[in-house]
Structure 1
Amino acid sequence: MSNELDGIIQVDTDELKGMVNDSASPILIDVREIDEYEESHIPGVPLIPMQTIPAHLEKLDKSKSYVFICRSGARSQNVALYLKNNGFNDVRNYYGGMLSWDGDRQDGLEWMVENTQELYR
């Protein structure tokens, strides 16, 4: 069940599992470093490393919903707060991060977003 931290909805593992293959769900974005993502990530979830988020800010659609994922939930919380402070209304954090994820995993660099328009396939 979702709760809230600093005005950001916290998504738990069961909720995230329901979102992974649902095209109507929020856009899921992994914000870890490339090497962390390559080691293990949720299949189909794109990577936008945290430090590159400001460069993507103007390209992200403020009318869309987003859930951010990192290793423990701290970096993704900071990204959600940053976007919220920049006019994004529907941003969420995966509480517990990949340390809590017990679903399917994939290794390798599956999908690193260089052009955020790639998110809208």
Structure 2
Amino acid sequence: MGFEQDGIIQVEKEELKELIKGDRKDPIIIDVRELEEYEEAHIPGVPLIPMGNIPNVVKQLDKEQSYLFVCRSGGRSQNVAMYLQSQGFKHVQNYFGGMLAWDGEVQSGLEWVVKDVSELKK
């Protein structure tokens, strides 16, 4: 089970693998790295919203939904979670260790770059 850091729940690798394997829609897992990083390697089925785009879409995100953020090392995703928490989101989590710690399946290419936040409800 994860732990808490700066008020944000930190999800560890094995827990994330279980969430992905379970094909659950809650939490919604979002990669917040840059386009090039995502294209090089990402967790299959996980959509991309680069960190810099989060302020542009924050009003479209559901504050009651649970979100789990992923980045390269866990730093940017932690900042995104803290930012959303400051905007009134109560259910935000960070993948601790990021893609550097990920040893599960990866995919390359631009599988799912979010253009409209309503896509996340699929």
After TM superposition, the score normalised by the length of structure 2 is 0.97
Offset at residue 24 of structure 1 (A) = 4.3
What residue identity is the alignment partner of 2:78?
Q
> 2: distance between equivalents of 1:27 and 1:56?
15
- The runs of at least 4 aligned residues of structure 1 exceeding 6 Å deviation read none
Q: Match for residue 88 of structure 1?
A: 89
- CA deviation digits over 1:6-65, x for unaligned, max 9? 000000000000111422430000000000000000000000000000011011111100
SS of residue matched to 1:20: helix
> Relative to structure 1, is the Cα distance of residues 24 and 113 closer, same or farther in structure 2, using a 3 angstrom cutoff?
closer
Q: Is the 8 A contact 2:26 2:65 kept in 1?
A: no
Does 2:82 match 1:78?
A: no
Partner residue in 2 for 1:17: 17
State the distance in 2 between where 1:74 and 1:24 align.
Answer: 24
Corresponding residue for residue 4 of structure 1? 4
Q: Tell me the distance in 1 between the aligned counterparts of 2:103 and 2:6.
A: 26
Inter-partner Cα distance in structure 1 for 2:85 and 2:63:
10
Structure 1: where are the runs of 5+ without partners?
Answer: none
How many pairs align?
Answer: 121
**Identity among equivalent pairs (%):** 60
1:27 match? 28
Rounded Cα–Cα distance in structure 2 between residues aligned with 1:57 and 1:25? 18
2:11–2:94 contact (8 Å) kept in structure 1 = yes
Structure 1 residue identity aligned to 2:106: R
Partner of 1:97: 98
Residue 39 of structure 1: aligned partner: 40
Query: For residue 37 of structure 1, what is the amino acid of its counterpart?
Result: Y
| Alignment TM-score, normalising by the size of structure 1 | 0.98
1:83 positional shift: 0.2
Match in the other structure for 2:115: 114
Give me the whole-angstrom Cα distance separating, in 2, the residues matched to 1:23 and 1:69: 16
2:59 is equivalent to residue 58 of structure 1: yes
